[in-house]
Amino acid sequence: MEGKVAHDWRLRGQRYRLEGEECPHCKAKIFPPRDICPECKRPAKEPYRLSGRGEVYTFSTLNSAPEGFENYTPYTVALVKLEEGPMITAQLTDVAPEDVRIGMPVEMVTRKLRAQGDEGTIIYGYKFRPTGLGHAH
């Protein structure tokens, strides 16, 4: 449990605010942050906050969830293509699985991802919902 707390804590910037990196050499936007640019393979450590706007590239609805997510079924996981370029995997929220479409514009929201049982921490992070009430910036 303690090791998990430290792991989640390290990820709070990217989970809460979509904080990635910008490559100082080729200006590629990087998410999740990995300190090496996947485009030009050079060091890239400059923090960069992504807008949270993107569109659904593809998706799948889960009826049988992995441990910790059982309470949320059925839910949809999507590959979201962000407007700055990176593709990220995230749950969709505030939308019925049957209403999800490829190409649907979405925006980032911060939601509860799961809780570590009744006594552990509650993990918050990014999900995406259909665009329309946008405060993504």
Partner 1 sequence: MAERWTMHPQRPVGIIGYGSYVPMYRLPNTEISRIWGSGDEGGPIKEKAVAGLDEDTITISIEAARNALSRAGIDPEDIRAVWVGSESHPYAVKPSSTVVAEAIGTSPFHLAADLEFACKAGTEALQAAIGLVGAGMAEYAMAIGADTAQGRPGDALEYTAACGGTAFIVGPAEEALAILRGSLSFVSDTPDFWRRAYQHYPSHGGRFTGEPAYFHHIQSAADALMGEMGLEAKDFTYAIFHQPNVKFPQRVGKRLGFTKEQLEPGLISNIIGNTYAGAAITGFSATLDIAKPGDRILMVSFGSGAGSDASVWEVTEALEERRHKAPLVADYIARRVEIDYGLYVRYRSKILVK
> Would you tell me which residues interact with partner 1 (CB under 8 A)?
12-13, 16-17, 49, 71-72, 91, 93-94, 109-113, 122, 124, 127, 132-135, 137
* Cβ-proximal residues to 38 (8 Å cutoff; 6+ apart), any chain: 28, 30
Q: Which is nearer to partner 1, 3 or 71 (CB)?
A: 71
Residue whose entry in the numeric block shows the structure tokens 């450590």: 45
> What is the Cα–Cα distance from 26 to 48, expressed in whole angstroms?
14
Q: How far is the CB of 108 from partner 1 (least distance, A)?
A: 10
Q: Which is nearer to partner 1, 56 or 109 (CB)?
A: 109
Q: How far is the CB of 122 from partner 1 (least distance, A)?
A: 6
Query: How many alpha carbons lie under 13 Å from residue 100 in its C-beta half-sphere?
Result: 24
